Chains A and B, each alone.
Chain A
């Protein structure tokens, strides 16, 4: 993480209004978006959009040519331009030829991308944004912080100050009054401008139509009142058929602002009649800066499916804390990270891809079905290839991919920390970890790892055997979770084996964009679990489970190890998360959970990988309930706790802000205990509770269940 980005993140977190406004919005957004989609099959709708947009993304050149033909036949001037300078030059030339001194604009990301306003102003032409939020940001000489709500970081007092200057009178921070002032001020601009510039939400190749959605009605005025209309359209807005408008029109307002439809949808097909009776002059600029290159990329062509709804920003637990300005360029949030890298170049991303905590919330809501977390990982991989990781990080992965070295290091650390340990926590943190320990306590490494304790566990002999995949945290920090798993499975008559040669699941390397190290881990684990004598491979860490189930076969394939990949597939088929497996045992009658009474009420925290990758958020809840625990759901139970593996070390400020919120949510339920299925979340949340002096007992689902089976608590 470059220092300048780190500073910007810190400043954003300290902004008096930014994260409060964005967080409040994101809370409201979840519920209102759900309401807006009521009665609509979202999966079917987004499958349709993804199909139509993917179809278009593969044929941008052809569709652009088709559009140019049809729109020209309707009387529009259509040009295809490639660079920002060409677009600015074209519009500037047009303004000069028509003697235009004032241009009005409705919101357009494409013109922001090319810095059109600056170019026109430099040439002495006044440019006026007419979307209220854009105008506010323009008056404040700032950049939009959100694609749909550009001025969300500003308060009514800020706006009153800005508008007072324009109106030449002192205005009170009363919103309806401020909006009236904007109406008056901008109305004059609409009526006297010589050119109106818009973007387009959709461009239809078959008919040459442009579709524009607004709530304010400013795009209608921009396109109607000045004699010349210029539409600047990124070619990724192209779709093949007029019918393709329908699914986008159904999803865009619902996903963007939780509306069934925006107040205004305007569909332009060629120039309409001008107010004085003549025909309007209409120019359509099809702009493809880097889009064609993106469309030829097997992975990043997916990003061209984006319909710019900003829902990936609205659900992002990091974006809502830091806002859009830290992203630096035009596009913010998950899609912004990808587009900035693709459009501005790999070196322009400046570590933005590190801001993503890989919680997967954006993937679930994207109406164009873009696998944003995966694309961001790919940005990491390519950014790493351009600017290799720091030496310390590379050294870390070379150790991580060598099991003996890695485990040796952990054992040495366990001894070395002894003077630093304070019971289960570290007392003094070495300098490089001080930030990470600011608002949470870090656990001490266990005195003896699970692998050493395992042979001493007294287990029943059984014909039914399952293998346990511990993962680093359970093996070296929380061996007691592993022992709880063993006790629960033993009760169902399952004998648990611990293959000694198992190593890191590969997730840290995978999420850091180092596929070779991930492949080395995957290969070692395939060897370690090659014994066919067990019916399942159980993991009590959802990240490890997901790594074994999906990432291991893929990374082995992609690094040219097809034979290992095939074995990894067989391992993947046997791998299952603890709660899903135990629920299966209960269902088949192998395990009876005690119906205990008088248990502490619990709240359940959803781990990102358990819920959104494994889709196994219900089994742990069902098990805990049927064992007799009362579950009190917390708000946003599925929002990331801020751990994210090494994320909490790389981005300690963001991580601890996310943690603080999670702790508030837990406290709001007044539950005595918190259950979760991921040792990473557990480390974060338990450490946070310890630092805050909270009495809430934080334990893994396996521990809550095991404590009932053996009567100890």
Chain B
């Protein structure tokens, strides 16, 4: 299932990185931030609270991820170069990420910065969008977001151009939560 998810996500223009454990996700994220120059010349990243973020002590995060801002507001998100958000579910057939984005911080972090790092538990990948949708109760989910690849447009001469309003780059970090989830 992870393999299928990865192929579909890459077909949609996303990049996929795998980590063997939640702890291993952190260096994987650090590499992306580093690649994008976060921490240098005032470049920042935002990461709203989520199950993975809360595993790590803020001091560890500050040390591992220089330039990371934990308080997500319109201002910090609009100023950030990278937004990191945690997803609830993935749909393998289309490489789609699914998120209860009812908390405003999640939407600010995933829409405003030019780079989006999406965190996904390997065990949360299901077959397709239909299966993913069945995991949510709409009555308790004011904003359910499905994300497949980066922001795109073909509105000028039908030439595919990435990153018109949302992120230009989408990197998905899939992390294993227990042994036995290996591919």
A242 to B156, CA, bound (A): 35
User: Quick one: which of B94, B142, B146 has the most chain A CB within 10 A?
Assistant: B142
User: Quick one: which of B133, B138, B149, B167 has the most chain A CB within 10 A?
Assistant: B138
User: Quick one: which of A130, A218, A257 has the most chain B CB within 10 A?
Assistant: A218
A94 to B63, CA, bound (A): 48
Determine whether the beta carbon of B157 is less than 8 Å from that of A156: yes
Select A175's contact among B73, B108, B157, beta carbons within 8 Å: B157
Select A263's contact among B130, B144, B147, B159, beta carbons within 8 Å: B147
Determine whether the beta carbon of B155 is less than 8 Å from that of A183: no
Can you report 28 A-B residue pairs in the complex whose CB atoms are below 8 A from each other? A25-B158, A149-B154, A149-B155, A155-B157, A156-B156, A156-B157, A159-B156, A186-B165, A191-B74, A204-B138, A215-B151, A215-B154, A217-B167, A218-B164, A224-B108, A225-B74, A246-B133, A260-B8, A263-B166, A265-B96, A265-B146, A266-B146, A267-B143, A269-B143, A271-B142, A272-B102, A272-B143, A275-B108
A241 to B11, CA, bound (A): 31
Q: Is A179 an interface residue (CB 8 A)?
A: yes
Q: Is B34 an interface residue (CB 8 A)?
A: no
Assess A216 versus B156: contact at CB under 8 Å? Given A179-B161, A249-B129, A275-B104: no
Query: A136: which B residues are within 8 A, CB to CB?
Result: 155-156
A91 vs chain B, min Cβ distance (A): 22
A327 to B47, CA, bound (A): 48
Determine whether the beta carbon of A269 is less than 8 Å from that of B139: yes
Determine whether the beta carbon of B155 is less than 8 Å from that of A262: no
Which residues of B are interface residues toward A (Cβ below 8 A)?
A: 8, 12, 73-74, 78, 93-94, 96, 101-104, 107-108, 111-112, 129-130, 133, 138-139, 141-159, 161, 163-167
Determine whether the beta carbon of A209 is less than 8 Å from that of B138: yes
Select B149's contact among A242, A257, A263, A267, beta carbons within 8 Å: A263
Q: Is A414 an interface residue (CB 8 A)?
A: no
Within A146-162, the residues touching B (CB, 8 Å) are: 149-152, 154-156, 159
A453 vs chain B, min Cβ distance (A): 54
Q: Is A182 an interface residue (CB 8 A)?
A: yes
Determine whether the beta carbon of B164 is less than 8 Å from that of A246: no
Query: A209: which B residues are within 8 A, CB to CB?
Result: 138
Query: A187: which B residues are within 8 A, CB to CB?
Result: 78, 165
| A-B pairs, 9 with minimum CB distance | A217-B166, A133-B155, A272-B142, A265-B146, A272-B143, A267-B144, A132-B155, A217-B151, A207-B138
Q: Is A297 an interface residue (CB 8 A)?
A: no
A518 vs chain B, min Cβ distance (A): 42
Assess A220 versus B166: contact at CB under 8 Å? Given A261-B94, A266-B144: yes
Given contacts A74-B139, A132-B153, A262-B148, 12 further A-B contacts (CB under 8 A): A132-B155, A178-B156, A190-B165, A215-B152, A217-B164, A220-B166, A245-B133, A265-B145, A266-B145, A267-B141, A272-B107, A273-B142
Query: A55: which B residues are within 8 A, CB to CB?
Result: none
Determine whether the beta carbon of B104 is less than 8 Å from that of A273: yes
Query: A270: which B residues are within 8 A, CB to CB?
Result: 142
Select B150's contact among A190, A246, A263, beta carbons within 8 Å: A263
Assess A183 versus B148: contact at CB under 8 Å? Given A131-B155, A217-B111, A268-B143: no
Determine whether the beta carbon of A263 is less than 8 Å from that of B104: no
Determine whether the beta carbon of B73 is less than 8 Å from that of A183: no
Q: Is A711 an interface residue (CB 8 A)?
A: no
Query: B161: which A residues are within 8 A, CB to CB?
Result: 175-176, 179
Determine whether the beta carbon of B138 is less than 8 Å from that of A217: no
Determine whether the beta carbon of A273 is less than 8 Å from that of B164: no
A261 to B148, CA, bound (A): 7
A25 to B159, CA, bound (A): 11
Q: For this complex, into which size category does the number of interface residues on chain A fall?
A: 35 or more
Q: Mark A169-207, 1 if CB is under 8 A from B, else 0.
A: 000000110110011001100110000000000001001
Residue of A with least CB distance to B93: A260
Query: B74: which A residues are within 8 A, CB to CB?
Result: 191, 225, 275-276
Select A261's contact among B141, B146, B167, beta carbons within 8 Å: B146
Which residues of A are interface residues toward B (Cβ below 8 A)?
A: 21, 24-25, 28, 74, 130-133, 136, 149-152, 154-156, 159, 175-176, 178-179, 182-183, 186-187, 190-191, 204, 207, 209, 215-218, 220-221, 223-225, 242, 245-246, 249-250, 257, 260-277
Count of A-B contacts judged by CB separation below 8 Å: 163
A257 to B155, CA, bound (A): 11
A134 to B143, CA, bound (A): 25
A656 to B166, CA, bound (A): 45
A131 to B144, CA, bound (A): 21
Residue of B with least CB distance to A218: B165
Assess A215 versus B153: contact at CB under 8 Å? Given A132-B164, A263-B166: yes
Select B138's contact among A133, A242, A260, beta carbons within 8 Å: A242
A136 to B158, CA, bound (A): 14
Determine whether the beta carbon of B138 is less than 8 Å from that of A269: yes
B77 vs chain A, min Cβ distance (A): 9
Query: B96: which A residues are within 8 A, CB to CB?
Result: 261, 265
Query: A269: which B residues are within 8 A, CB to CB?
Result: 138-139, 141-144
Query: A182: which B residues are within 8 A, CB to CB?
Result: 164
A242 to B137, CA, bound (A): 10
A275 to B103, CA, bound (A): 8
Query: B141: which A residues are within 8 A, CB to CB?
Result: 267, 269
Query: B150: which A residues are within 8 A, CB to CB?
Result: 263
Query: A151: which B residues are within 8 A, CB to CB?
Result: 155-156
Residue of B with least CB distance to A270: B142
User: Quick one: which of B146, B153, B166 has the most chain A CB within 10 A?
Assistant: B153
Determine whether the beta carbon of A179 is less than 8 Å from that of B163: yes
User: Quick one: which of A132, A136, A154, A245 has the most chain B CB within 10 A?
Assistant: A132
Assess A246 versus B130: contact at CB under 8 Å? Given A175-B161, A216-B166, A217-B151: yes
Query: B101: which A residues are within 8 A, CB to CB?
Result: 272
A248 vs chain B, min Cβ distance (A): 11
Residue of A with least CB distance to B134: A243
B82 vs chain A, min Cβ distance (A): 16
Determine whether the beta carbon of B145 is less than 8 Å from that of A264: yes
Assess A149 versus B158: contact at CB under 8 Å? Given A216-B166, A225-B74: yes
A176 to B141, CA, bound (A): 36
Determine whether the beta carbon of A21 is less than 8 Å from that of B153: no
Query: A217: which B residues are within 8 A, CB to CB?
Result: 111, 151, 164-167
